[in-house]
Structure 1
Amino acid sequence: MRRLSLLDTSLRDGQKSLGINLNVNEKLEISRQLVKLGVDVIEAGYPAASPVEFEAVRKIAREVKGVVICGFAGANEREIDCCAAALKEAGRSRIHTGIAVSPLYMEKKLQLTPGRVVELAVAAVKHAKKYVDEVQFYAEDAFRSDRAFLVQVLERVIEAGATVINIPDTLGYATPWECSEMISYVMNNVRNIQRAVLSVHCHNDLGMATANSLAGIKAGAGQVEGTINGIGERAGNTCLEEIIMTLYSRRGSIGIQCGAKTRELAATSRLVSRLTGVPIPAHKAIVGSNAYTGNPASLGEIGPGENAPFVIIAPDTVGLPEDDGALQIRLGPQALQQRLDKLGYSLNKEDLDLVYQYFLHSADSKGAVYDQELRELMGEAGVEQRGILIKNISITTTGASRATATVTLDLDGDTVTEAACGTGPVDAVFKAVDLLVGERVCLEDYMLKSVGRGRETLGDATVKVRYGDNGLVIGRGVSSDVIEASARAYANALSKVKTMIRENAAQARV
């Protein structure tokens, strides 16, 4: 059975989604989970893009082992040098460089002749090869390129030392039959293609990224590139979880396998959603909340345990338990740990004690905590507040729309209190937190959803704030009180802003 390599680009291409701005520790957390999932390559970022991006790639390269760490660089020596420096401590590293090859991109974007593009492509690969054994070359906008020219470029870069050839559908315009034909063409016409692994990288602008990738894989591609939950610019990238489960569930007919551990998919998906602030649609394949619901009994008389004929994927295959049992307040830490193990979480004693306190607080106010709520509490307990903790909130309202909030924070170890007026209690709370923290941010989005069952559900708040020209920062908060959940989310976002300021200042001193 042929083995397929998985390259995850959630931290590079995926981060382009809606202006996502992950900090170093968030990228590191996702990278560690990707290792648990069993991907082969983690594209950790674009080191030359910023000092913080460089530090994130450097830290991942130093601390994450058992996987290839890949860095992205344009076809110039400065970016390749920067990428190599960031990857220096990796156990196994790869530089991903390349250039546009379509007539339109060469003329309008690069303003270069085809001959000059070939020269730059070869020079970039040769320069990267001085630092690493594995060099991946991307032929940007390959599907709109002249085929003869594409063959020329690929043969030359393989001769220069490229070990992986990435054929991207840059604009998500291709169809599955075109992807199959393209990969077959490259396999049959590039003379030295046997010296490199062929990779497919698809975007989802027409909703066919997964289908296109599978067509390319079936035609002979040895690597597929994608992101968790399909995050990425515009309409997103190929969903890795869909590729993994298609190969798993159709392994008998497809005859291709990968090294992914399917039971880690749900945990990986939830982590990426929590840290990026991009919600998982209920109808999302593989990891959506509705993916395993239905009424097989409507198809005829069936007995207990006879659902298998009507189910193509069992929930526990992707790390979701079959049941969603309620956990009562009298539950002890050991029983909670057993339930968390079943949900795919592994905690040390210190982390378990922290989650247990969140569990007791929630169960005390609600009476019972369901699995979906427990997952959100896991995310809340894992939220890194960085010195900003909500201690107390008091709200008074005047009329239907005016409110005054008095907020007490633990700010870098000091207890501080401030009051502010706003249009409603959430606005008033946010303004009070602004006065206390002192960072000027622009609130761009605020979302509140319920998690759980009945009237005693948890409130799950997500805020997106913009700080200067640094992109969006995501904050999450969970509580049985929606005002407190909103305050926690906003404080979490401002904590990340403060972390970003510290990271930028530290890099400026280097």
Structure 2
Amino acid sequence: MMLDNPASKYQPFVAVDLPDRQWPSRRIESPPQWCSVDLRDGNQALIDPMDLERKQRLFDLLVKVGFKQIEVGFPSASQTDFDFVRSLIEEDKIPDDVSIQVLTQARPPLIDRTFEALEGAKNAIVHVYNATDPMFRRVVFGVDKAECVQIAVEATTRIRQRMEAAPATQWTFQYSPELFTTTEMDFAVEIVEAVMGAFEPTPEQRMIVNLPATVEVAPPNNYADQIEWFCREVKNRDALIVSVHPHNDRGTGVAAAELTLMAGADRVEGTLFGNGERTGNVDIVTLAMNMYTQGVHPQLDFSNITPLMREVEYCNQLPVHPRHPYVGDLVFTAFSGSHQDAIKKGMADRRAHPEARWEVPYLPIDPMDVGRSYEAVIRVNSQSGKGGISYLLEQEHGIELPRRLSIEFSQVVQEVADRTGREITSTMIYQAFADEYLARNSPFALFGHRLSSEPDSPRVSVEATIEERGERRVIQGEGNGPLAAFIKALAAAGHDVEIIDYHEHSRGQGADAEAIAYVEVRIDGKAVFGVGTDESITSASMKGVMSAINRYLLTQAAAPNVTAESLAVTK
């Protein structure tokens, strides 16, 4: 049960005294060094840890994406990890420009086992850690500050000796004061400087100091304050690569990483899609794509995000949430009617100005940049409106609805959505359109027509064969154009129809192209739309008129107190 007074049980974080902090006014203008820890930190958090086959597939994927530093395991603690590291080295599976990183505890036998695993590697990062947080010193390990420093220094000395004994490998040393964010800040600097004294890094041969938020216990701005304070206070900062390793316990791992980069961090450790212990590690995909939307290339390639996501899902045996930023199946999809209308207008403006900077409402990036098509940008359910419906008909079926027809047809789709209670697909929308407008060929139907005109005269004569309530007849008329002549022919036959609005365009390309005509007419004071399609635009427009007449008669038949005589469209 939640406590009435949680302060009696939980204490707030300790804020950093940094009144002249500089990071809030900075921007991220270049990418950090990236280190993927999917194969170690991410793997240890899986329900079913990866076998060698899945590890290799994920390693190959990380290389393809562009990672130059990949933590591949904890070889001194796991035979599977040891065997995997050996297979990478012995089978020459590591590109020359990629460094593999391995983790070890600060214990001599484990350090020695780690170097056995790395024998023959071209480029390797040895990552050693020990817990520096006061609770861990007291409760878990029973050591004081001096003993904690001694553990770190002795491990560093042993690692340096092992590195010097294998000069064929290009070594990098990495030290993590584990639980940095809950360690006393002055002690964090003290132990890092003691480790630096044992390893003796230089600006030419820097070491990595990794400052992890092992458990996220404070807002991201506090992590940034800690990083800026550390970078100011630590000696020989130019001999260090300052790395951060944010976790996501408060749900702000990405924000924490961004703010620490603004505060002076050089490097980020994280995982694809944020897999990791508890609520996960920082999500490198989101972090990198956030940079991309600000015009900074992250130097990681997510051009085909969906296949990448599926491969990671296979390797981790965990699904990626459909709302996951930039990646999830629904993140570029709008169901809301107002959102759809704005996107539709934005995409139209984009087509008109293809060289302009990307500005489309509700879409922070172009889905095409990550290998997504526009097909799923707008999807329709009961919350959708005319904009989304029109967009899908235009994009996938070549039907460009006039505005008033778009409003009218949206009510048809809304009824289907309300009745079914589920998403309405593009195919369902087209079928509803066809049923409502294109298939309206009764009780009136057009079976053919013939046009004639005198030379140098705008007047056109039409002779059309129509079927009226099961009986065929020929009607004739003359007007300024084929459609006007057809309307006159209908009037001469006793059917009074007035054209209010008319739109037409071609649909499809080449030999398969057809004309589509949208005709709004007034019959007995009522406005009604009809739509016709045909290889001939003239036939399409005439069919559109007949479609409108039939839709009018259908609505009249459904009205109360309708007599048989009232169904005739007459003067």
**Taking structure 1 as the reference length, what is the TM-score of the superposition?**
0.60
Query: 1: CA distance between counterparts of 2:194 and 2:348?
Result: 58
Out of 359, 368, 372, which is 1:320 matched to? 372
Query: Alpha-carbon deviation of 1:267?
Result: 3.1
Question: Is residue 2:196 matched to residue 1:158?
Answer: yes
Q: Residues 218-249 of structure 1: CA distance to partner in whole angstroms, max 9, x if unpaired? A: 11111001111111111111001011101111
Q: Measured at CA, do residues 304 and 3 of structure 1 come closer, stay the same or move farther in structure 2, by a change above 3 Å?
A: closer
Question: Is residue 2:240 matched to residue 1:173?
Answer: no
Query: 2: CA distance between counterparts of 1:262 and 1:301?
Result: 26
Out of 36, 53, 71, which is 1:25 matched to? 53
Query: 2: CA distance between counterparts of 1:211 and 1:201?
Result: 12
Letter in 1 for 2:370: V
Moved more, 262-271 or 131-140: 262-271
Equivalent position of 2:291 in the other structure: 247
SS in 2 for 1:198: strand
Query: 2: CA distance between counterparts of 1:267 and 1:13?
Result: 23
Q: Measured at CA, do residues 25 and 204 of structure 1 come closer, stay the same or move farther in structure 2, by a change above 3 Å?
A: same
Structure whose CA Rg is larger:
2
Question: Is residue 2:173 matched to residue 1:135?
Answer: yes
Letter in 2 for 1:183: I
Contact 1:58 1:89 in 2 (8 A): no
Contact 2:322 2:329 in 1 (8 A): yes
Q: Measured at CA, do residues 36 and 300 of structure 1 come closer, stay the same or move farther in structure 2, by a change above 3 Å?
A: closer
Query: 2: CA distance between counterparts of 1:137 and 1:44?
Result: 17
Equivalent position of 2:230 in the other structure: 186
Letter in 2 for 1:134: T
Question: Is residue 2:337 matched to residue 1:298?
Answer: no
SS in 2 for 1:95: strand
Question: Is residue 2:42 matched to residue 1:14?
Answer: yes
Equivalent position of 2:267 in the other structure: 223
Out of 93, 103, 115, which is 1:63 matched to? 93
Contact 1:31 1:60 in 2 (8 A): no
Query: Alpha-carbon deviation of 1:7?
Result: 0.6
Q: Measured at CA, do residues 301 and 213 of structure 1 come closer, stay the same or move farther in structure 2, by a change above 3 Å?
A: closer
Query: Alpha-carbon deviation of 1:309?
Result: 2.0
Q: Measured at CA, do residues 91 and 323 of structure 1 come closer, stay the same or move farther in structure 2, by a change above 3 Å?
A: farther
Contact 1:31 1:64 in 2 (8 A): no
Contact 1:8 1:41 in 2 (8 A): yes
Query: Alpha-carbon deviation of 1:301?
Result: 6.7
Q: Measured at CA, do residues 173 and 266 of structure 1 come closer, stay the same or move farther in structure 2, by a change above 3 Å?
A: farther
Query: Alpha-carbon deviation of 1:203?
Result: 0.9
Query: 2: CA distance between counterparts of 1:301 and 1:4?
Result: 36
SS in 2 for 1:123: helix
Query: Alpha-carbon deviation of 1:74?
Result: 0.4
Equivalent position of 2:407 in the other structure: none
Query: Alpha-carbon deviation of 1:160?
Result: 2.4
Q: Residues 459-506 of structure 1: CA distance to partner in whole angstroms, max 9, x if unpaired? A: xxxxxxxxxxxxxxxxxxxxxxxxxxxxxxxxxxxxxxxxxxxxxxxx
Out of 257, 263, 276, which is 2:316 matched to? 276
Contact 2:46 2:316 in 1 (8 A): no
Equivalent position of 1:115 in the other structure: 146
Query: 1: CA distance between counterparts of 2:175 and 2:346?
Result: 55
Equivalent position of 2:124 in the other structure: 93
Q: How many residues align?
A: 322
SS in 2 for 1:171: coil
Query: 1: CA distance between counterparts of 2:284 and 2:294?
Result: 15
Query: 1: CA distance between counterparts of 2:243 and 2:277?
Result: 20
Equivalent position of 2:276 in the other structure: 232
Out of 133, 137, 155, which is 1:102 matched to? 133
Query: Alpha-carbon deviation of 1:316?
Result: 2.5
Q: Measured at CA, do residues 128 and 266 of structure 1 come closer, stay the same or move farther in structure 2, by a change above 3 Å?
A: farther
Query: Alpha-carbon deviation of 1:305?
Result: 4.3
Query: Alpha-carbon deviation of 1:193?
Result: 2.1
Query: 2: CA distance between counterparts of 1:317 and 1:194?
Result: 37
Query: Alpha-carbon deviation of 1:259?
Result: 1.9
Contact 1:266 1:319 in 2 (8 A): yes
Contact 2:134 2:183 in 1 (8 A): yes
Query: Alpha-carbon deviation of 1:19?
Result: 2.5
Q: What pairs up with 1:199-210 in 2 under 5 angstroms?
A: 199-210=243-254
Query: Alpha-carbon deviation of 1:96?
Result: 0.7
Query: Alpha-carbon deviation of 1:306?
Result: 3.4
Query: Alpha-carbon deviation of 1:60?
Result: 2.8
Q: Residues 392-437 of structure 1: CA distance to partner in whole angstroms, max 9, x if unpaired? A: xxxxxxxxxxxxxxxxxxxxxxxxxxxxxxxxxxxxxxxxxxxxxx
Q: Measured at CA, do residues 299 and 108 of structure 1 come closer, stay the same or move farther in structure 2, by a change above 3 Å?
A: same
Letter in 1 for 2:349: E
Letter in 2 for 1:143: T
Equivalent position of 1:441 in the other structure: none
SS in 2 for 1:191: coil
Q: Measured at CA, do residues 76 and 309 of structure 1 come closer, stay the same or move farther in structure 2, by a change above 3 Å?
A: same
Query: Alpha-carbon deviation of 1:56?
Result: 1.2
SS in 2 for 1:120: helix
SS in 1 for 2:288: helix
Equivalent position of 2:71 in the other structure: 43
Q: Measured at CA, do residues 321 and 149 of structure 1 come closer, stay the same or move farther in structure 2, by a change above 3 Å?
A: same
- Which of the pair has the greater relative contact order for Cα pairs under 8 Å at 6+ separation? 1
Q: What pairs up with 1:419-434 in 2 under 5 angstroms?
A: none
Q: Structure 1 residue runs of 4+, over 6 Å off?
A: none
Q: Residues 148-169 of structure 1: CA distance to partner in whole angstroms, max 9, x if unpaired? A: 1111111121232260011111
SS in 1 for 2:71: strand
Q: Measured at CA, do residues 230 and 113 of structure 1 come closer, stay the same or move farther in structure 2, by a change above 3 Å?
A: same
Query: 2: CA distance between counterparts of 1:158 and 1:265?
Result: 40
Contact 1:75 1:99 in 2 (8 A): yes
Query: 1: CA distance between counterparts of 2:225 and 2:72?
Result: 30
Equivalent position of 2:514 in the other structure: none
Q: Measured at CA, do residues 299 and 118 of structure 1 come closer, stay the same or move farther in structure 2, by a change above 3 Å?
A: same
SS in 1 for 2:127: strand
Query: 1: CA distance between counterparts of 2:103 and 2:112?
Result: 11
Query: 2: CA distance between counterparts of 1:304 and 1:13?
Result: 41
Q: Measured at CA, do residues 97 and 264 of structure 1 come closer, stay the same or move farther in structure 2, by a change above 3 Å?
A: farther
Contact 2:247 2:280 in 1 (8 A): yes
Query: 2: CA distance between counterparts of 1:167 and 1:303?
Result: 43
Query: Alpha-carbon deviation of 1:83?
Result: 1.6
Query: 2: CA distance between counterparts of 1:141 and 1:297?
Result: 46
Contact 1:267 1:319 in 2 (8 A): no
Q: Measured at CA, do residues 264 and 174 of structure 1 come closer, stay the same or move farther in structure 2, by a change above 3 Å?
A: farther
Question: Is residue 2:337 matched to residue 1:309?
Answer: no
Q: Residues 23-74 of structure 1: CA distance to partner in whole angstroms, max 9, x if unpaired? A: 1121111111101111121000100112111111222344121311000100
Contact 1:174 1:212 in 2 (8 A): no
Equivalent position of 1:461 in the other structure: none
Query: Alpha-carbon deviation of 1:108?
Result: 1.2
| Aligned residues: CA RMSD | 2.2
Query: 2: CA distance between counterparts of 1:165 and 1:227?
Result: 19
Contact 1:173 1:206 in 2 (8 A): yes
Contact 1:175 1:208 in 2 (8 A): yes
Letter in 1 for 2:271: T
Letter in 2 for 1:113: D
Out of 279, 291, 307, which is 1:267 matched to? 307
